[in-house]
């Protein structure tokens, strides 16, 4: 991971990142029993401007509770206080935008699998914020692997172990010369990318797969919907067929690590002209403005 911060907040203590470890025999390592969230921080002269931090903390708690990690609320309230995150930022002494990865790890050393009454550890580490997709436009390959169903692992939870699904699909896409994968769900409808949500634009309408399409209901996704509605753009959340994407006027991906990224091709088929669309670029600019505004209700200065 590029430019990883030297210090990590681990169990409410700031320690060197190389010393922030969990056991190889922990449930987190053996069974993927960890949940996480990543938020974006923009470096400013006054401090780090963090985007929708309360929402990320809320999602982290909800993810842990959805997979049955008990006592997580007390751990988060103790370990993820804003003053400790601010202290972490100062300790790392960075002068660039950052991503912050918050994780709850199940550190219990137990044989077999279970989720309740396990020992937990918490961590936050920082790394330089770089887009996971080309800002000039990305290419996608529809994956033969289907998106993990919500009935198997909760799609609304960011569960570390579930990202084997994403790794398989993205590697296939990279091997095929594309930037990322496009998941379909078990019903054959469009779901999302390996680590980003997807939108299409048709005749001025902004359309995105709904929650029943086994998507992660992303915080950036929700931000884009709210920005669009405030801009009097019609927004529809529904099931989406793959061929609708092929014939869309514009397609883009969004997420904390993807920001707003135009999609130029899917399965070697150009989306419209094969160039970033006007509405895509407008929404990208409006999101960037919200992320850089100290007056926004979505930002927290640390």
pLDDT tens digits for range 41-71:
999 999 999 999 999 999 999 999 999 998 7
Instruction: Let me know whether 163 and 249 are in one domain.
Output: yes
Give the pLDDT band (50/70/90) at residue 263: very high
Could you tell me the residue range of the domain that residue 229 belongs to?
138-291
Lowest mean pLDDT among 67-71, 172-176, 214-218: 67-71
pLDDT (0 to 100) of residue 78: 82
Residues 6+ apart with CB under 8 A from 88: 5, 7, 8, 9, 14, 124, 126
Instruction: Let me know whether 124 and 267 are in one domain.
Output: no
Greater confidence, 72 or 120? 120
Give the pLDDT band (50/70/90) at residue 3: confident
- 126 touches 98 (CB < 8 A): yes
Mean pLDDT for 270-296 is 97
Closest CA to 4 of 22, 21, 16, 14: 16
- 183 touches 143 (CB < 8 A): yes
Tell me whether residue 299 is in a domain: no
Instruction: Let me know whether 102 and 230 are in one domain.
Output: no
Mean of pLDDT over the chain: 96
Greater confidence, 42 or 3? 42
Lowest mean pLDDT among 40-44, 57-61, 114-118, 121-125: 114-118
Tell me whether residue 55 is in a domain: yes
CATH of the domain at 187: 3.20.10.10
Q: Which of 70, 100, 130 is the last residue of a domain?
A: 130
Instruction: Let me know whether 149 and 270 are in one domain.
Output: yes
Instruction: Let me know whether 92 and 201 are in one domain.
Output: no
pLDDT higher than threshold 90 for residue 110? no
Instruction: Let me know whether 149 and 268 are in one domain.
Output: yes
Tell me whether residue 160 is in a domain: yes
Give the pLDDT band (50/70/90) at residue 2: low
Instruction: Let me know whether 144 and 287 are in one domain.
Output: yes
Number of domains in the chain: 2
Instruction: Let me know whether 115 and 221 are in one domain.
Output: no
Mean pLDDT for 232-244 is 99
Residues 6+ apart with CB under 8 A from 283: 224, 227, 228, 252, 260
Q: Which of 91, 113, 130 is the last residue of a domain?
A: 130
Mean pLDDT for 169-174 is 98
Instruction: Let me know whether 78 and 166 are in one domain.
Output: no
Give the pLDDT band (50/70/90) at residue 296: very high
- 30 touches 40 (CB < 8 A): no
Mean pLDDT for 5-9 is 97
CATH of the domain at 30: 3.30.470.10
Instruction: Let me know whether 159 and 94 are in one domain.
Output: no
Instruction: Let me know whether 169 and 93 are in one domain.
Output: no
pLDDT (0 to 100) of residue 116: 86
pLDDT in tens, 184-200: 999 999 999 999 999 99
Tell me whether residue 1 is in a domain: no
* Predicted TM-score of the model (pTM): 0.95
pLDDT (0 to 100) of residue 198: 99
Q: Which of 69, 102, 130 is the last residue of a domain?
A: 130
Instruction: Let me know whether 183 and 284 are in one domain.
Output: yes
What three-state secondary structure class fits 251?
strand
């Amino acid at each position: 991971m590029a430019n990883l911060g030297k210090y990590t907040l681990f169990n409410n203590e700031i320690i060197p990142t190389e010393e922030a470890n969990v056991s190889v025999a922990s449930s987190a390592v053996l069974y993927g029993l960890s949940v996480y969230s990543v938020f974006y921080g923009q470096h400013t002269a006054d401090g780090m401007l963090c985007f929708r931090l309360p929402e990320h903390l809320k999602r982290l708690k909800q993810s842990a509770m959805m997979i049955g990690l008990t006592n997580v609320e007390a751990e988060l309230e103790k370990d993820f206080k804003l003053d400790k995150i601010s202290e972490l930022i100062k300790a790392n002494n960075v002068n660039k935008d950052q991503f912050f990865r918050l994780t709850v790890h199940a550190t219990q050393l137990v044989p077999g699998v279970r989720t309740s009454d396990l020992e937990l550890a918490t961590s936050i580490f920082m790394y330089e914020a770089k887009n996971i997709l080309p800002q000039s436009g990305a290419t996608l390959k529809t994956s033969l692997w289907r998106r993990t169903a919500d009935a198997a692992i909760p799609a609304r939870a960011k569960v570390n172990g579930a990202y084997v699904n994403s790794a398989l699909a993205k590697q296939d896409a990279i091997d095929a010369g594309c930037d990322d994968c496009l998941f379909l769900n078990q019903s054959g409808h469009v779901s999302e990318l390996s680590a980003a949500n997807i939108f299409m634009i048709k005749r001025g309408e902004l359309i995105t797969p709904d929650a029943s399409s086994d998507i992660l209901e992303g915080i950036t996704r929700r931000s884009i919907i709210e920005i669009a509605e405030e801009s009097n753009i019609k927004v529809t959340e529904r099931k989406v067929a793959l061929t609708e994407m092929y014939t869309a006027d514009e397609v883009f991906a969004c997420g904390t690590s993807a920001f707003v990224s135009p999609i130029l091709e899917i399965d070697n088929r150009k989306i419209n002209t094969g160039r970033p669309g006007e509405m895509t670029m407008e929404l990208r600019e409006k999101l960037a403005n919200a992320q850089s505004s100290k007056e926004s209700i979505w930002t927290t200065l640390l």
